[in-house]
Amino acid sequence: MCLKKRTVYIAAIIALTMLTGFANIPSAAATVAEDIQLVYDYDSQILTVNISHYVANTKTHYIEDIEIHKNGISILNRSYANQSYNWGMYDMFNVPAAVDDNLTITGICNKGYSLTRWLIVTSAIATNTPPSSTTSTTEPTNGVDVPGTSLGTGPAIAAGAVVIIFFVLFFAWLKPEYVPDVFKQLGARIRNGVTWLGEKLRDMLSWLKAGLSSLVQQGAAKFASK
């Protein structure tokens, strides 16, 4: 097999390896639910669920299911096609309950992650966490979608740019006759600059080597004269 054919095969393997590695980059948007704030109004029998779950795109990554258990028994399961806000999910449920009932709520996102919190019903307004100013709202907004750009797009663009640059450079090396003169001149200048820099570094290393050798010899001479 000739050198250029062998190089083509090696380049193809390198490119496929790069693409596979970039494809396995985890999306930065794949966050898990951080917390669930629960508020139960005993008089109205309304349970408010506020899930902190930041995502970049509420259509591709969202809280898909909210499951409610009372005293260990499943009583409600609501599914969603998107998330209320980028910062999380907000919804209200009519949940009949008595004093001292244990309400357990689980939020499940469409990526498979889940988070569970619970509270004990009282004869007033029961809550499992103190109010949070970052996730509070005045009304539920089921079905309202906030469009966004997936944070995983950045690595994908960078991966594509790297692969394109790699193939352009490889093609320029394989078929130099098709490379415009201006790029040939630029490449020549870069090579000359690299060569000049390499020579300067070699000169510097030689100077350092000579200086260190001189210092060692002087130290040995002083040690021998004592």
Q: Counting every residue, how long is the chain?
A: 226
The CA distance from 223 to 147, in Å, is 77
Domain ranges, ordered by start, for the chain: 3-25+153-176, 35-127, 180-224
Strand partners, 104: 69, 118
Per-residue model confidence (pLDDT) at position 126: 92
Per-residue model confidence (pLDDT) at position 80: 94
> Tokens for 69?
């258990």
Per-residue model confidence (pLDDT) at position 174: 57
Per-residue model confidence (pLDDT) at position 73: 94
| CATH number for the segment(s) 35-127 | 2.60.40.10
Question: Which candidate, 72, 36, 70, places its Cα nearest to that of 53?
Answer: 36
Per-10-residue mean pLDDT, the chain, length 226: 54 59 47 88 95 90 94 94 90 94 94 91 84 36 35 55 67 62 69 84 86 79 70
Per-residue model confidence (pLDDT) at position 9: 54
Q: Is residue 47 within 8 Å of residue 121, measured between CB atoms?
A: no
Q: Which residues of 118-151 are buried (b: 16+ CB within 10 A; e: fewer)?
A: ebebeeeebebeeeeeebeeeebeeeebbeeebb
Per-residue model confidence (pLDDT) at position 193: 81
